[in-house]
């Protein structure tokens, strides 16, 4: 191989060498993209390599190639390679001889999100997959949290620095809990019960574990939340005659209540976004104003306490006694990916 060829795939080789050092004597299975993204293909990643690991519990270890610059240096950022990371995913291994292909599709979908929006992942981040992470699978794992892969770590290449982020499968209530605490600390606590945070599609939520829930509750109360925003697709707001109105599904009320206590209760602001709505909650003297279609609610401690309590109630209309704000909680429908209603929370 010539020096020019070596430079042109320096990033690719650096990842491959790092994986080979972790799994000496083993040959990884490489799922290569058929039509490159640069030539009009649908898959942004050049490929995903899978390794067989016995650490923690037997599992498949998926490693991406393509978030970083694999070949020639193209970006102006000399310090980082491409987006500055590659993703990994660890899946509990069953009796199968070959690794399942669906995680490859999952990782490509994450790449489509990053490449189309420019939003990058980092330690402590999360994303809602809006359904089972493995399609047509009876699993409670419907979201992902991100942490530093403890074995792959970070890497310096000729194209810049990158770190390996592990995508961890979590349940919807675990995602809500992660948002209300520090994401990295939440996943670190999760690892104490789930070795290497290996994704197990058959597992139940750790929020059903009393000891884990106590750890989360204590952490949330001590640290507050590192997440500054909450998105709810169906939320409405208005400010009429100096009184604010907020309408949302009762199923989201408890999460918003926890987020408010973990953000505003710790002296930080919280943004609530809907499809056409933006609300900022912040600590301070009681006030409700609108600036550029943003409803700003300033909440002293006694108002925050009442609002947090109201948000945990059932369907109904609740005017606050301590603040010119009325909360309307409406039934929340839980649906599958086809829109079929599975449950109604009232």
Residue 7 has pLDDT above 60, yes or no: no
- Calculate the average pLDDT of the chain: 92
User: Where exactly are the structural domains of the chain?
Assistant: 3-223, 229-335
The Cα–Cα gap between 7 and 219 comes to: 46
Q: 341, 335 in Cβ contact below 8 A? A: yes
274-325 confidence digits (pLDDT tens): 888 899 999 999 998 888 889 999 999 999 999 999 999 999 999 999 999 9
Q: 162, 82 in Cβ contact below 8 A? A: yes
| Beta-carbon contacts of residue 217 (< 8 Å; ≥ 6 apart) | none
DSSP for 233-295 reads SSEEEEEETTEEEEEEEHHHHHHHHHHHHHHGGGT--EEEE-SS-EEEEEESSSEEEEETTEE
Q: What is the pTM of this model?
A: 0.89
Classify domain 229-335 at the CATH superfamily level.
Sufu, C-terminal domain (3.30.1360.230)
CB atoms within 10 A of CB 201: 18
Backbone angles phi, psi at 311, to 5 degrees: -65, -15
| 78 CB burial (10 A radius; 0-12, 13-18, 19+) | exposed
CB atoms within 10 A of CB 79: 8
The H or E element containing residue 21 is helix 10-22
Residue 4 has pLDDT above 80, yes or no: no
């Amino acid at each position: 191989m010539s020096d020019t060829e070596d430079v042109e795939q320096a990033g690719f080789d650096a990842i491959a060498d790092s994986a080979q050092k972790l799994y000496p004597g083993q040959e990884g299975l490489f799922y290569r993209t058929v039509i490159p993204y640069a030539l009009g293909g649908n898959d942004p990643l050049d490929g995903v390599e899978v390794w067989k690991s016995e650490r923690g519990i037997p599992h498949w270890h998926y490693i991406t190639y393509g978030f970083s610059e694999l070949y020639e240096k193209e970006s102006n950022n000399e310090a980082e390679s491409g987006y500055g990371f590659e993703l990994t995913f660890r899946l509990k291994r069953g009796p199968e001889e070959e690794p399942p292909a669906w995680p490859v599709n999952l990782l490509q979908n994450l790449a489509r999100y990053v490449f189309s929006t420019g939003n990058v992942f980092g330690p402590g981040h999360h994303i809602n997959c809006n359904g089972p992470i493995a399609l047509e699978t009876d699993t409670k794992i419907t979201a992902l949290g991100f942490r530093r892969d403890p074995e792959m770590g970070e890497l310096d290449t000729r194209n810049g620095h990158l770190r390996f982020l592990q995508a961890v499968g979590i349940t919807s209530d675990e995602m809500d809990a992660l948002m209300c605490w520090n994401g990295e600390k939440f996943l670190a606590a999760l690892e104490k019960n789930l070795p290497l945070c290996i994704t197990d599609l058959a597992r139940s939520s750790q929020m059903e574990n009393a000891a884990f829930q106590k750890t989360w509750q204590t952490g949330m109360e001590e640290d507050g939340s590192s997440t500054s925003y909450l998105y709810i697709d169906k939320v409405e707001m208005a400010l009429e005659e100096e009184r604010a109105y907020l309408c949302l599904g009762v199923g989201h009320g408890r999460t918003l209540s926890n987020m408010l206590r973990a953000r505003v209760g710790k002296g930080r602001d919280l943004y609530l976004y809907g499809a056409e709505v933006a609300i900022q909650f912040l600590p301070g003297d009681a006030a409700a104003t609108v600036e550029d279609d943003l409803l700003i609610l300033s909440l002293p401690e006694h108002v925050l306490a009442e609002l947090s309590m109201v948000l945990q109630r059932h369907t109904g209309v609740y005017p606050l006694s301590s603040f010119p704000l009325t909360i309307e909680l409406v039934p929340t429908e839980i649906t599958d990916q086809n829109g079929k209603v599975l449950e109604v929370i009232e």
